[in-house]
Amino acid sequence: MKTPFRMITLAAVGSCLIAVSAPLASAETVTAVPISAPVYDTAIPISAPVEAVPISAPISTENAQSVTVTTKLIEEKTELINAKLSIPVISGLQDTAYAAKLNSEIEKKATDTIDELKKLAEEDKQFAAENDYEFRPYEMIVEYEVKADGGQDANGVFSMTTSTYTYTGGAHGGTFEAGYNVLNGTEAVAITLEQALGAGGLGKADKAVRYAIQQDPDRFFPDVLDTFTGVKEDQQFYIERGIVQLVFQQYDLAPYAGGIIIIPVTEEAAAGPTVTIEAGRLAAGPNGTKLVPLRQTAEALGFKVTWSNKTHSAEVVRGAQWTQVTVGKNSYSFNRVAPFELGAAPSLIKGSVYVPLEFFDQVLKLNVSTVKDTVHITG
């Protein structure tokens, strides 16, 4: 059955406007256009300077100068659509051919999107007239913001975001934010997320997401740690002040009211969430083994723990990480590799499963340290 309003998914709009993760630099200030969907930043305040994970540049950027970005304004107001598109126009990249191609691509994708919206709006306006309800004009707003200008102070990195808001009927519209990231060399090179974060970068990004969730859980979906499957290579991001900022769209990790979620991959965040266990919460096992409550500790680190009364076992899962422990059975394995023993078998103490402290580093591969009888588990 046809519905009164035609919805274009944010993913589709994003693919229309930004199909590549390319670069952009800083330049003139653009007047912000109000967007009905709020954008929030989950950046965690850092008291000490944070070192960015270095980008290994495959090209020389020693002659890179600051890139300039100006605005080509496209406006349209009809009975079908209200549109205000602030299209970025990039100049100053050493690779002028790359800049020209990128400018053409960005503008074409924006105009293609507005043409598609007008076509859908015309169909819905006719349907509204036939079914006696009010048609509301569609809306489209495009903005951009330069995050790194491609000059020497930015280590030749040009980074920019575009924000696309569309309304096609209903209670509210939606916003899609995308990033362009490029090394400003004589031959411009698009920066991938893995290049930006270095070796093991996607794992660091995963930990940064879990760290952000641990710091402010009310910002996110209640079951986000169960549904989050890890950062993928095509994750939207930008680079600002040398720090990679992950961009999550509306509904990716949080309800609509949470807006666009920005998560920085700082050294602190890339270490992952941390659990601190006081000595009084540890139980004594055989041969001086320290036992730790499994569910409380693992869930605080982003794992999902599922208990089976039938087998007296607990399944521990986080993304692709999986293991299972059984009460009274000194046999442990990680991701179904060959089992091995630890200092003690899992124990049931006052209704809770306890595992040896070494389970968290030797099985779950987390960082465990002890300072003055206080245990810290990070990862």
* pLDDT confidence of residue 40: 33
Nearby residues of 192 by Cβ (< 8 Å), 6 or more positions away: 21, 233
The Cα-based distances of 153 to 150, 195, 223, 243, 355 in angstroms read: 8, 19, 41, 13, 49
* pLDDT confidence of residue 244: 97
What's the pTM value of the predicted model, to 2 decimals? 0.73
Give the bridge partners for 83, in sequence order.
76, 140
Does residue 236 contact residue 247 with C-beta atoms inside 8 Å? yes
Determine the Cα–Cα distance for residues 372 and 164; give it in Å rounded to an integer.
52
Q: What is the mean pLDDT of each run of 10 residues along the chain (379 residues)?
A: 35 40 35 32 29 45 86 96 97 95 93 95 95 94 97 94 94 93 94 93 93 91 88 96 96 94 93 87 89 93 92 91 94 89 94 95 92 88
Give the DSSP H/E element, type plus range, for residue 29.
Answer: none
| Amino acid, single-letter form, for residue 110 | A
Q: DSSP labels for 227-275?
A: H-----TT--EEEETTEEEEEE-TTTSS-GGG-EEEEE--HHHHT--EE
Topology at the third CATH level for domain 274-378: Copper Amine Oxidase; Chain A, domain 1 (3.30.457)
* pLDDT confidence of residue 345: 95
Q: DSSP labels for 179-237?
A: EEEEE-SSS-EEPPHHHHH-TTHHHHHHHHHHHHHHH-GGGS-TTHHHH-----TT--E
Strand 81-91 and strand 68-77: the pairing is antiparallel
Closest alpha carbon to 232 in 243, 219, 247, 216: 247
* pLDDT confidence of residue 41: 35
Domain spans of the chain, in order of start: 10-270, 274-378
Q: In terms of CATH architecture, what is 10-270?
A: 2-Layer Sandwich (3.30)
Residues 80-108: pLDDT tens digits?
999 999 999 999 999 999 999 999 999 99
* pLDDT confidence of residue 61: 66
